Structure 1
Amino acid sequence: MMAAFLRCIWGPRLRRIHRGTDGSPGFYYQPRILEKHSDSILGWAYILWSVSYYTSPLLLLYCYRKGYIVLSKIVPAASYASLLLLVLTGVACLRGVGRWSNSEYVHFVTILEETKRNNTAENKKRLAAYSFDFTHWPEDFIWNEVSSHYLMANSFGRRMLYPGSVSLLQKAIMPMLLQGQARLMEEYQGKRAKLIACDGNQIDTVFVDRRSADSERGAKLVICCEGNAGFYEVGCVSTPLEAGYSVLGWNHPGFAGSTGVPFPQNEANSMDVVVQYAIHQLNFRIEDIIIYAWSIGGFTATWATMTYPEISALVLDASFDDLVPLALKVMPESCKGLVTRTVRDYLNLNNAEQLCKYQGPVLLIRRTKDEIITTVPEDIMSNRGNDLLLRFLQFRYPKVMAEEGVRVVREWLGASNPLQETRPTRRTQIQGAALYSRYEVDDDWCTSVLQSYKSEHGGQFPWTVGDDMTTDGRRQLAIFLAQKHMKNFDATHCTPLPSYEFALPWSL
């Protein structure tokens, strides 16, 4: 009885009981009065602690200048802190009493304890009916069950770069995350799992299996990499999911149920264990795995395809080539040298460099109204996705992408500005059709040239195709290749990508 009471005191916060397979409706857990009020007190105490933690440098400086940091004042303050800790411990015990009197919570915590002792498929299925603090979820997969890969990097200002890791923001959007999680679990029969990365971080994942649907798309697994404030509960997972693919979503370290902080090293470790989990536990062939990323998720996506070159395809939506230009955009001009050195030394998110180490099919999606990864407002030519495409094409087809090839691709990129039609409420995109006509691009000829080169020289990039070609021929190939590797989406940076816009990359 005492053990059961202690589990109620220190057990996780229960949030929702999901809809049952027998048709019983899902509902949010309703704590009783004692649990509700004591939990609210502990919640506010956590918020105050978080605010104090983040502002501690300023508070310490203020106290030092006021002369408060002296032994005669520190001792009484420590006594007050001890008293406060004792009061909060009493509140936690009251919360435990409230939970102990609630049969729903006692039933849940009993199942949780049984699953921790005996992590069978049947117990895990019973536990999956509950949504609760993910730190208490039993481990499903550990990195050292198979080999792992590493990426040496450090970081600065990670809360600015990854605002989704800030606990106060997560508390503010928790109702939205719970609603998204319920949708994945109840409507799509998602399977939640805890993965342990090589750095010890716990990675919160969800898997939706479409293989039983007997469809070509369901046999493919799309691993989704979210943006810097994205969560799988409400992020880009929905796009391939609604398109009919099997989907594996995961949260960055420090996001929702995942532990740790999103340093580049930890990001790479997380991506590594996610890929290994997909292969060794979910039993997908690596040739059937597609990586899909939005925004800053392009870093882990390009790391994955660089590290696992057998991955079948890569789709990057609203991603960039390099962090330096975007960091300089939001910092004062006087800090240019410091910002550049800091990013290069500690946060080198050089997606283009990693992308060029992947040999498989690639599709870049550019938002024509992107306000985040453009360095000049409302100037589509300052979109760093353009630079990502150019670096990619210049690596794979250096002879085609000589000076003239770069010029016509830039012209093609600039021709995709939204233009006003005759009726002011309607807008359209010119996606290079006029350039196709002007340079007389022949798709069949371009395809045959590339196929002939591949059959004679093999498929390993970079290619020397275009070396003995006329200027007109290289222009045609340059525009053809740009159009095959990038598509435009007439939207802002944070607009969800509709499922009908999700497509696999072109493959020769």
Structure 2
Amino acid sequence: MPRDDPITEEERRANSATDLIRMRLERLQQNIEKPAPIPTKKETLRAPKAPLEFVRNVVGSSAAAGSAEFHIYRNNRRKEQNRLDYIDAVAKKEELDEAYRQKVNKLEEEEQLKTAKKRAKRLRQKAAAKKRKMAKKEKDSDDSSSDDSDDSNSDSDSDDDSEKERIYYIVSSLAFGPFILSYLYYRDWLTPVGMMTILKYAGYLTIIGYGARTFGRFFDETNARFLEVWENESNKKDDNNHAALKKYDFELLNVTPDFEARSNTDLWHLQPEVTEVGAFTRGLASWAIHAFGRHLIYPGSMGVLKYMMRPNLNAARKLLVQNKNGQRVWIKTSEGDVLDAMFLRGTANLSQNLVLCFEGNAGFYEIGVMNSPAQLGYTTLGFNLPGFGESTGLPYAKNTLAAADAVMQYAIQVLGYPPEKIVLFGWSIGGFPVAWLAANYPNVKAVVLDATFDDLLPLALFRMPTFFSSIVEFAVRNHMNLQIDKLLARYKGPIRLIRRLQEEILTTAVDDQPENIRRATNRINWLLKSIIRDRHPELIRNLEPQVDRWLDMSPTERLMHSGVSLREESQQRKRLFDACSHYLIDFDANHVTPLDPQFFNIPEGRDSF
């Protein structure tokens, strides 16, 4: 779709009429010495009126020159001359237009030819680089220094190729599934005796595979150096061995963490509502959460997704360490999980504040929301939830909150940032640990929530079968009680909500419904009303439908309703709209689009409107 000019896009980001006027004045002051030429009116060719088809000839003496018939004849001669001049002008304009079109077509052909040549050159260079890399890899697969010297583009290309090969391998394997089953059925191997035979051969193949891998690692120099560093770090426990161990990518099992969080019994937890259900419903709900519910809520912890994402995550983590001087840290939670985290120090003027980043249900810090504030120069600390990436454990509610508290303790005790200098930034389901931390650390500097929701239960009920609703409600309330609105009710500090206009995940409307209906069912709308209801009950009293009206407005319509009115009801509505503009901004993107860094702003506190 066509994009608006930069000035229009900049004015759309205005939170109020005052910001819009300020933007326009600043734009005028930047070019205050530049003359403003007044454009001239464009000349247009207008067809003259045609002369009469029959004109009486006027002849006679000069005394008849002043007669009416003579003037009629002269006017018609002038019209005929104007018509001839118009025909000449049109012909000249058509010649110029044709010459312009030919010139434009010629330039386009030249540009397309240049682009094709450059594309072919890049493809040849990429193929040659890939060929050289494959040849080098075949000669010496154990040379680790050559891997460090490769640039980021070749790394990303090889990662993409490996991912494509992996996907092709999985798809091709599944494609032959029916033929394999038919063959097994024809050979009578699907019987109990046949299944035992299959399991026996599968066991043999597993033993052979693991044995071959062990044999290969035993004679691999890189693996030998890794084992040596591992043993030295396990025995001596000094900083040099610990830093050397972080140069390797491996599963964080039995590693020495950089920081171990302590259990804090003073933390507040939201208690679920007590509901009387039978033992069957209780058992079925518990089974559903552990069997498939957790995987639906946190798909990033699934082994298949982690296996497919591992090459990209390793490459992105490598770039964070090498190109951005990132510091990789391992944090152990009070639940025993080890978190893989990354600390990026910002520029000098923005390093006094720390942005603590929380990913979504399929997000990883290597390629996640930490990139937006880091691009602006903020000091950031991101981590993977338990079960995500290289972090150990599983992302249950208590494990997630323990991970959030562990990272908060690390930021305060090790990095030296007090809560007053920490900004909590969460995306999607990451708003849950952010809201919980804000409830327990109410003096944090600010809270920024991008594409989040008020409560998980409405979203779960919308996507699950109706007959399963009672079990879903009990399972969510007792195992995954993610009520962000109730958690934020205990936090009164600065907060900013970012709503995605093309949201497709956090809505309770089907895809074929109009855009305004899907936008109206975005669960962040309920979170906004909950915040205003808790903080400014006098504004929203009897005017809650006006919040829905404001949410449905375009930026221009919102500016039109920001004027001064003398009526008391209109003044209350204007104050309500100002509160909505203060707490929520719109971002024209879908749920998974990375946040534009220009939309990340640390909000300021405001008590009245």
Question: Is the TM-score greater than 0.5?
Answer: yes
Query: 2:339–2:390: 8 Å Cα contact kept in structure 1?
Result: yes
Aligned to 1:189: 325
Distance in structure 2 (CA, Å) of the matches to 1:18 and 1:270: 37
Query: 1:150–1:268: 8 Å Cα contact kept in structure 2?
Result: no
Aligned to 1:409: 547
Is 1:141 matched with 2:259?
Answer: yes
Q: 1:82 to 1:371 in 2, by over 3 A?
A: closer
Aligned to 1:96: 217
Query: 1:16–1:131: 8 Å Cα contact kept in structure 2?
Result: no
Instruction: Give the SS at the match of 1:365.
Output: strand
Instruction: Give the SS at the match of 1:205.
Output: strand
Aligned to 2:280: none
Distance in structure 2 (CA, Å) of the matches to 1:483 and 1:75: 66
1:76 Cα deviation from its structure 2 partner: 6.5
Aligned to 1:233: 366
Q: 1:209 to 1:79 in 2, by over 3 A?
A: same
Q: Which amino acid aligns with 1:344?
A: R
Aligned to 2:498: 365
Instruction: Give the SS at the match of 2:366.
Output: coil
Query: 1:18–1:182: 8 Å Cα contact kept in structure 2?
Result: no
Is 1:393 matched with 2:532?
Answer: yes
Query: Please, which of 434, 452, 455 is the counterpart of residue 301 of structure 1?
Result: 434
Q: 1:303 to 1:433 in 2, by over 3 A?
A: same
1:82 Cα deviation from its structure 2 partner: 5.6
1:500 Cα deviation from its structure 2 partner: 1.3
Distance in structure 1 (CA, Å) of the matches to 2:402 and 2:375: 28
Aligned to 1:496: 594
Q: TM-score, normalised by structure 2?
A: 0.62
Is 1:434 matched with 2:434?
Answer: no
Q: Deviations over 1:85-144 (max 9, x none)?
A: 543442233122331xx2x44333323332233333333333333333333643111122
1:338 Cα deviation from its structure 2 partner: 3.2
Q: Deviations over 1:24-70 (max 9, x none)?
A: 66799x9xxxxxxxxxxxx99xx9xxx9xxxxxxx9xxx9xx99897
Is 1:343 matched with 2:479?
Answer: no
Q: Which amino acid aligns with 1:415?
A: M
Matches within 5 A, 1:81-120: 83-84=204-205, 86-99=207-220, 102=221, 104-120=222-238
Distance in structure 1 (CA, Å) of the matches to 2:524 and 2:440: 22
Instruction: Give the SS at the match of 2:561.
Output: helix
Instruction: Give the SS at the match of 2:407.
Output: helix
Instruction: Give the SS at the match of 1:403.
Output: coil
Is 1:223 matched with 2:356?
Answer: yes
What is the number of equivalent residue pairs in this alignment? 417
Q: Which amino acid aligns with 1:257?
A: E
Larger radius of gyration: 2
Distance in structure 1 (CA, Å) of the matches to 2:317 and 2:432: 25
Instruction: Give the SS at the match of 1:229.
Output: coil
1:490 Cα deviation from its structure 2 partner: 0.9
Instruction: Give the SS at the match of 2:605.
Output: coil
Is 1:381 matched with 2:517?
Answer: no
Is 1:331 matched with 2:464?
Answer: yes
Query: 1:140–1:195: 8 Å Cα contact kept in structure 2?
Result: yes
Distance in structure 2 (CA, Å) of the matches to 1:497 and 1:234: 12
Q: 1:68 to 1:281 in 2, by over 3 A?
A: same
Q: TM-score, normalised by structure 1?
A: 0.73
1:251 Cα deviation from its structure 2 partner: 0.6
Is 1:258 matched with 2:413?
Answer: no
Q: Deviations over 1:250-281 (max 9, x none)?
A: 11111111111111111111111111111111
Q: 1:78 to 1:130 in 2, by over 3 A?
A: closer
Q: Which amino acid aligns with 1:253?
A: P
Distance in structure 1 (CA, Å) of the matches to 2:321 and 2:145: 11
Q: Which amino acid aligns with 1:304?
A: L
Aligned to 1:165: 301
Q: Deviations over 1:148-177 (max 9, x none)?
A: 847578845111111111111111122221
Distance in structure 2 (CA, Å) of the matches to 1:17 and 1:480: 58
Distance in structure 2 (CA, Å) of the matches to 1:489 and 1:76: 58
Distance in structure 1 (CA, Å) of the matches to 2:435 and 2:574: 28
Distance in structure 2 (CA, Å) of the matches to 1:318 and 1:262: 20
Q: Deviations over 1:212-247 (max 9, x none)?
A: x421x2111111110111000111010111111111
Query: Please, which of 576, 580, 585 is the counterpart of residue 482 of structure 1?
Result: 580
Distance in structure 1 (CA, Å) of the matches to 2:144 and 2:472: 44
The structure whose RCO (Cα within 8 Å, separation 6+) is larger is 1
Query: 2:152–2:319: 8 Å Cα contact kept in structure 1?
Result: no
Q: Which amino acid aligns with 2:213?
A: A
Aligned to 1:419: none
Instruction: Give the SS at the match of 1:335.
Output: helix
Query: 2:372–2:595: 8 Å Cα contact kept in structure 1?
Result: yes
1:185 Cα deviation from its structure 2 partner: 0.7
Structure with the larger helix share: 2
1:357 Cα deviation from its structure 2 partner: 1.1
Structure with the larger strand share: 1
1:431 Cα deviation from its structure 2 partner: 6.5
Query: 2:459–2:506: 8 Å Cα contact kept in structure 1?
Result: yes
Query: 2:450–2:499: 8 Å Cα contact kept in structure 1?
Result: yes
Aligned to 1:131: 249
1:478 Cα deviation from its structure 2 partner: 1.1
Query: 1:149–1:272: 8 Å Cα contact kept in structure 2?
Result: no
Distance in structure 2 (CA, Å) of the matches to 1:249 and 1:142: 17
Query: 2:373–2:600: 8 Å Cα contact kept in structure 1?
Result: yes
Distance in structure 1 (CA, Å) of the matches to 2:578 and 2:562: 8
Q: Which amino acid aligns with 1:392?
A: I
Query: 2:263–2:334: 8 Å Cα contact kept in structure 1?
Result: no
Query: 1:18–1:131: 8 Å Cα contact kept in structure 2?
Result: no
Aligned to 1:456: none
**Moved beyond 6 Å, runs of 4+:** 14-20, 24-28, 66-70, 72-78, 145-148
1:337 Cα deviation from its structure 2 partner: 3.4
Q: 1:338 to 1:93 in 2, by over 3 A?
A: closer
Query: 1:485–1:506: 8 Å Cα contact kept in structure 2?
Result: no
Distance in structure 1 (CA, Å) of the matches to 2:436 and 2:426: 11
1:436 Cα deviation from its structure 2 partner: 1.3
1:209 Cα deviation from its structure 2 partner: 2.0
Query: 1:222–1:248: 8 Å Cα contact kept in structure 2?
Result: yes
Is 1:319 matched with 2:452?
Answer: yes
Q: Which amino acid aligns with 2:348?
A: D
Query: 1:143–1:198: 8 Å Cα contact kept in structure 2?
Result: yes
Instruction: Give the SS at the match of 2:529.
Output: helix
